[in-house]
A and B are shown apart, each in its own frame.
Chain A
Amino acid sequence: MVTTAGALTDGSLSSIKGFLKTLSPVDQVGADARAAMLATRSIKTASKKWAIDMAISMIDLTTLEGADTDGKVKAICNKAIRPDPTDPSVPHVGAICVYNDMVSVARKHLDESGGHDIPVAAVSTAFPSGRASLEVKERDTKDAIANGATEIDMVIDRGAFLSGDLEKVFSEIVYIKSLCGDKAHLKVILETGELVTYDNVRKASFLAMAAGADFIKTSTGKVAPAATAPVVLVMLEAVRDFHQMTGVRIGVKPAGGIRTTKDAIKQLVLVKETAGDEWLNPELFRIGASALLNDLLMQRQKLTSGHYGGANYVTLD
């Protein structure tokens, strides 16, 4: 059965509620157990090498600090283009992810440094809390796009979701999507650490997809827990089922707490054995991270040279 996403719900509260009611519940114990089982997969030698390069190319290299400066943003742009300056065979990362006011700095520096093909993602809609009027969210998004962002990472209104005002959550996503048009991809951040239950995660995932998300993203990185394995599992099941319903593949972006190569490889195993191999590319899976990149590079050097070079052999930015 192939329908378009829009046919799942017309956006009215009754229609949204009716649609979400058709979703199967999630058993928390079972989801935790499945994620824990998949974490036991042993990824070695050639498969590890493949996974490390794939993970690097999926990273949304992120800096989202009050202390961000032009210099800091330029530094991570350089890192994004050439993650390991001693080894040109390392792929570039998936994207740069910054606050609204750093978009133009990042875009300009990437363009001037050979990073034309690396997109800039802007966190938007009063990130991370989303507590602002629609006008503010609109301006936030429009600014980012005007400055060269081709990916918008918006947050949903968790307060509205938890109070049952699903129509508000839905219509905001629809509206921000309309601002993105064909100029920017829309990633919708669910902030699963505030939604808490897996049933909520599944519902919010479908709500976002039906409203036009190109990606569903776990977290802002400002709330713990962030991208836990069972939450990513539930979201991957959601995109898999949404594809079954509509024929449309939506991407998934875990963000927050993924710091080691082991963590990243576990994410790729979840993708492979849940959504499937079709999702194993940067078009459909991204990892929001900063420290992760250096650990991947250290593991990559170890596989290449046979020994750990240590932290002084990767660049700190």
Chain B
Amino acid sequence: MTFEYSSAPESKAIVTIDPVYKLFIGGKFVAPKGGKTFTTINPATEEVLAKIAYAEKSDVDKAVKAAQEGLKVWSKMAPSERGKYLYRIARIMQERAREFAVLETMDNGKPIRETRDIDIPLSAAHFFYHAGWADKLEHAGVGSNPKPYGVVGQIIPWNFPLLMLAWKVAPALATGNSVVLKPAETTPLTALLFAQVCQQAELPAGVVNIVTGDGATGAAIVNHPGINKIAFTGSTDVGKLIARSVAGTDKGLTLELGGKGANIVFEDAPLDETVEGIVNGIFFNQGHVCCAGSRLLVQENIQDELLEKLKRRMSQIRLGDPLDKNTDIGAINSREQLEKITELAISGDTEGAERFSAACTIPAKGFWYPPTFFTGVTQAHRIAREEIFGPVLSVISFRTPQEAIEKANNTPFGLSAGVWTDKGSRILWTAKHLRAGVIWANTFNKFDPASPFGGYKESGWGREGGRHGLAAYLKGAK
């Protein structure tokens, strides 16, 4: 007999999912004018979780008007009072952390270990961090009298639903803006639970408004004349569309887009910890991470040894029920995303790269993709250039540090990169030459509210988090 872990599922009893959800406008849940709904499913089981209100143009208009009303109260409130609301929201998120974690896992498909240990604690941390800034904005280095934009339209993705909400809402509120937020179509539930938290915290009506819908709903927000700034996280294609839409208007814009992060491993790297960093870099959150380390750049003289260790480690990855506390990799968020991952991975096969996939048992229902890497990848392969947004790693070798830098920077993106070496001077040299917004040394995918996050080139405009992130919500700020 061997040591097989018995199933250890987190109980679903803590969450109450309503059959139908309305829009959150002006501090109340209101039905959409058109009465249309769409469904959200659990991607691990394909079961329908709830019907969600579909916001059309007139609903967005109502939300913007409510936000304009909310702004009158919020922007005039003493900053220290605004801070108190943010602290209150942060504390309620902590108190209800288990509920958020289970709901996020059900709606998104990511493992409970990640929602419990990363998504939810970091979301609360963002509110705590920005709560402290609310009454200190004149010391943030953005001028002596910084002012909010006004009504901010925020459109967030499905990969970290609550965390991306926190990244957007916390700094917007701390700086005195009001918000119209649209969660992703496939993952609206934690945003709607957050709406309940706003009610529980007695946040003034209209300061946070949440409208659910699809791309057309997002377009209605972007094009609404009452919106003063857009903050978007999502694909580069949609980001370009938004940039075109707001061109010629006086709307502010921050974009957090795609990436094709290079994880660079030098010959003197601490190999066992590097393997952990590679796994964390590309298989964390099923690879649905804009800053994923999706290109492994490895010095050729250690490639075989490193890949042997990586294969062995990948055989330990536990794929399956996201609610099981021992699950390492959960479900792909949607059928559409699974098809995109599958298509790009097949292009790797047809373009001559060699595939290795961990031998995972794929559940009968739901959307799944096994942890995979390709070797024999060159800069000319699609899988080396396009963002896969799934658990698929492209392995590219290099011979010298200069070659590593050239290959790492040879991409339209520039969001993240990792450097693995035992040599401090090489870390500094490499970081200096990389064109990426976030560079990790001997670690990967580490986040902190105090640290600015954002990209070069097609990875985005502006920064989120830290002092730089505050500046993105303050008009006229340098």
Query: Which residues does A use to contact B, with CB under 8 Å?
Result: 24-27, 29-31, 33-34, 40-48, 50-51, 54, 237, 244, 268, 272-273, 277, 280
Judging by beta carbons under 8 Å apart, are A26 and B272 in contact?
yes
Contact residues in B for A45 (Cβ distance below 8 Å): 6
Nearest 6 A/B pairs, CB to CB:
A30-B273, A42-B8, A27-B270, A42-B325, A27-B273, A24-B271
B270 touches A47 (CB 8 A): no
Q: List the A side residues contacting B3 at CB < 8 Å.
A: 47, 50-51, 54, 268, 272, 277, 280
Contact between B277 and A41, CB atoms less than 8 A apart: no
Q: Is the interface of B mostly helix, strand, loop or mixed?
A: loop
A291 CA / B7 CA spacing, docked (Å): 29
CB <8 Å contact, B2 and A280: yes
Interface check B430, CB cutoff 8 A: no
**Known pairs A26-B272, A40-B325, A44-B7 / 10 extra A-B pairs, C-beta < 8 Å:** A24-B269, A25-B268, A27-B442, A31-B273, A34-B276, A41-B326, A42-B325, A47-B3, A48-B6, A237-B272
Task: Judge whether B316 is part of the interface by a CB distance below 8 angstroms.
Answer: yes
- Bound complex: CA A309 to CA B475 (Å): 66
Residues B247-276 near A (CB distance < 8 A) = 268-274, 276
A50: chain B residues within 8 A (beta carbon) = 1, 3
Q: Would you give the shortest CB distance from B328 to chain A, in whole angstroms? A: 9
Alpha-carbon distance between A47 and B8 when the two chains are bound, in angstroms: 10
CB closest chain-A residue, reference B315: A276
Selected contact of A47 from candidates B4, B272, B273, B443, CB within 8 Å: B4
Q: How many whole Å from B313's CB to the nearest CB in chain A?
A: 9
Query: Which B positions have Cβ atoms within 8 angstroms of A?
Result: 1-8, 113, 117, 268-274, 276-277, 308, 316, 325-326, 422, 442-443
Q: Report chain B residues within 8 Å CB of A30.
A: 270, 272-274, 276-277, 442-443
Q: Taking chain A's interface residues, is the majority helix, strand, or loop, or is none over half, making it mixed?
A: helix
Q: A33 with B276: in contact, given A46-B6, A47-B3 (CB under 8 Å)?
A: yes
Contacts A43-B5, A47-B3, A54-B3 given; does A24 touch B272 at CB 8 Å: yes
**A273 contacts B316, CB within 8 Å?**
yes
| CB-based contact A41/B272 at 8 Å | no
- Which residue of chain A is the closest to B421 with respect to CB atoms? A25
7 pairs, CB–CB < 8 Å, chain A vs chain B: A25-B269, A26-B272, A30-B277, A33-B443, A41-B326, A277-B3, A280-B3
Identify A40's interface contact among B117, B269, B276, B422, CB under 8 A: B117
Task: Find chain B residues with CB under 8 A from A47 CB.
Answer: 3-6
Query: Per a CB cutoff under 8 Å, which of A24, A40, A268 touches B270?
Result: A24
Count A-B pairs with CB separation below 8 Å: 70
B303 CB → nearest A CB, Å: 14
**B residues less than 8 Å from A42 (CB atoms):** 5, 8, 325-326
Cα of A50 to Cα of B5 in the assembled complex, Å: 10
Given A34-B273, A272-B3, A25 and B316 touching (CB < 8 A)?
no
Contacts of B325 in A (CB 8 A): 40-42
Cβ-defined contact, B6 with A26, below 8 A: no
Q: Are B422 and A25 in contact (CB under 8 A)?
A: yes
A256 to B269, CA, bound (A): 31
Please indicate which of the listed interface residues A24, A48, A50 has the most CB atoms of chain B within 10 Å of its own CB. A24
Q: Could you tell me the distance in whole angstroms from the C-beta of A100 to the nearest C-beta in chain B?
A: 35
Partner of B2, one of A25, A34, A237, A277: A277
CB distance from B213 to the nearest CB of A (A): 37
Bound CA–CA A244/B276 (angstroms):
19
Contact B442 A29 (CB under 8 A): yes
Q: Within the complex, what minimum Cβ distance (angstroms) separates A252 from chain B?
A: 15
Give B165 Cβ to nearest chain A Cβ, in Å: 25
Give the contacting residue for A25; candidates B117, B270, B277; CB below 8 A. B270
The answer to whether B6 touches A44, judged by C-beta atoms less than 8 angstroms apart, is yes
The residue on B at minimum CB distance from A238 is B272
Return B417 CB to nearest CB of chain A, in Å: 17
Query: Could you tell me the distance between the alpha carbons of A272 and B318 in the complex, rounded to whole angstroms?
Result: 13
Q: A237 to chain B: which residues have CB within 8 Å? A: 272
Nearest B residue to A271, CB-CB: B3
Chain B nearest CB, measured from A43 CB (Å)? 6
> B270 to chain A: which residues have CB within 8 Å?
24-27, 30
Residues of A contacting B326 in the complex (Cβ-Cβ under 8 angstroms): 41-42
Report the bound CA distance from A46 to B4 in whole Å: 9
Roughly how many angstroms separate A34 CA and B268 CA in the complex, as a whole number? 20
Q: When chains A and B are docked, how far (Å) is the Cα of A30 from the Cα of B276?
A: 8
List B contacts of A48 (CB < 8 A): 6
A41 vs B326: C-alpha distance when bound (angstroms): 6
A-side contacts of B1, CB under 8 Å? 50
B7 — which chain A residues lie within 8 A by C-beta?
A: 44
Q: Which residues of B contact A268 (CB under 8 A)?
A: 3
Distance of B75 from chain A, by nearest CB (Å): 42
Tell me which residues across on chain A come within 8 A of B269, comparing CB atoms: 24-25
Give the docked Cα–Cα distance between A48 and B7 (Å). 11
Most buried by A among B268, B270, B272: B272
- The distance from the CB of A273 to the nearest CB of chain B, in whole angstroms, is 5
